[in-house]
């Protein structure tokens, strides 16, 4: 998948709040996302070159004519918070959430939003895999949601695909991806993280066969 967005070219960001709890949470999230920001007071004039401001509902009324995200609106699921932030920062490109899954005893899950990785997680049970995916897909505001599942463990692949299809139907596109060659690629491509995540990244980059439900049902 082409990654069009360069995090070094993002608009200027500021955190404008005197609420210590909100400031800590917002600054921690932005640091985790490798997004630089300025710390400013909502009671003072904010430099006009700042294009996205993080604050609280109470302090929002102090900030005029800017893009604003409030702490209370992004304090839920961290992955969705990241999606909301990147949707404000980048107006061009596909508004797409892309999920790569490598099923197995340890299931690797990778999420990209607008080509930027916003989650990498390894789950140890199918229940945890499905609860994680369901929670994210339900809350995501992306216009397009694509789920690509590797076929290395076909029983688990079909189970995950079937459950997601039952839950979301036409709201998501599910593809079953041929995993042939991914094991070799994980050893040669410099992806970070454990093998489960490296495989999930490769799966996310491959187009697969559209899953349309279990015809035997």
Contact between 71 and 108 under an 8 Å Cβ cutoff? The reply is no
Q: What is the per-residue pLDDT across 160-183, written as a single tens digit (0 to 9) for each?
A: 999 999 999 999 999 999 987 665
Q: Which of 61, 69, 64 is CA-nearest to residue 29?
A: 69
Query: In the 8-state DSSP scheme, what is residue 40?
Result: E
Structure tokens belonging to residue 152: 């290395």
pLDDT on residue 94: 86
Beta strands in the chain (DSSP E): 12-16, 38-40, 50-55, 67-70, 96-102, 107-113, 116-123, 144-150, 173-177, 209-210
pLDDT at 98: 98
Q: Which CATH class is domain 96-210?
A: alpha beta
Q: Terminus-to-terminus CA distance in the chain, angstroms?
A: 34
pLDDT in tens, 50-60: 989 999 999 99
Low-confidence ranges of the chain (pLDDT < 70): 1-11, 181-193, 215-217
Annotated domain spans of the chain: 9-75, 96-210
Report the CATH architecture of 9-75: 3-Layer(aba) Sandwich (3.40)
Q: d(Cα 53, Cα 69) in Å, to the nearest integer?
A: 6
List Cβ neighbours of 52 (8 Å cut-off, separation of 6 or more).
11, 12, 13, 14, 66, 67, 68, 69, 88, 89
Q: Quick check: helix, strand or coil at residue 46?
A: coil
Q: So what's the pLDDT on residue 64?
A: 83
Q: Is the pTM of this model over 0.95?
A: no
């Amino acid at each position: 998948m082409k990654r069009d967005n360069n995090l070094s070219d993002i608009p200027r960001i500021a955190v404008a709040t005197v609420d210590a709890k909100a400031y800590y949470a917002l600054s921690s999230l932005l640091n985790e996302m490798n997004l630089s920001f300025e710390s400013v007071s909502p009671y003072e004039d904010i430099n006009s070159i700042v294009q996205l401001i993080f604050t609280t509902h109470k302090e929002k009324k102090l900030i005029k004519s800017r893009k604003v995200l409030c702490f209370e609106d992004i304090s839920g699921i961290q992955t969705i918070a990241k999606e909301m932030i990147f949707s404000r920062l980048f107006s061009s490109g596909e508004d797409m959430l892309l999920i790569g899954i490598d099923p197995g005893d340890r299931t690797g899950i990778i999420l990209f939003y607008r080509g930027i990785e916003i989650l990498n997680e390894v789950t140890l049970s199918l229940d945890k895999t499905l609860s994680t995916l369901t929670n994210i897909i339900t809350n995501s505001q992306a216009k397009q949601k694509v789920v690509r599942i590797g076929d290395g463990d076909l029983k688990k692949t079909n189970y995950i695909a079937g459950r997601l299809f039952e839950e979301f139907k036409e709201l998501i596109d599910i593809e079953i991806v041929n995993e042939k060659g991914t094991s070799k690629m994980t050893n040669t491509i410099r992806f970070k993280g454990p093998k489960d995540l490296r495989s999930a990244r490769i799966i996310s980059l491959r187009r697969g066969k559209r899953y349309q439900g279990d015809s035997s049902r």
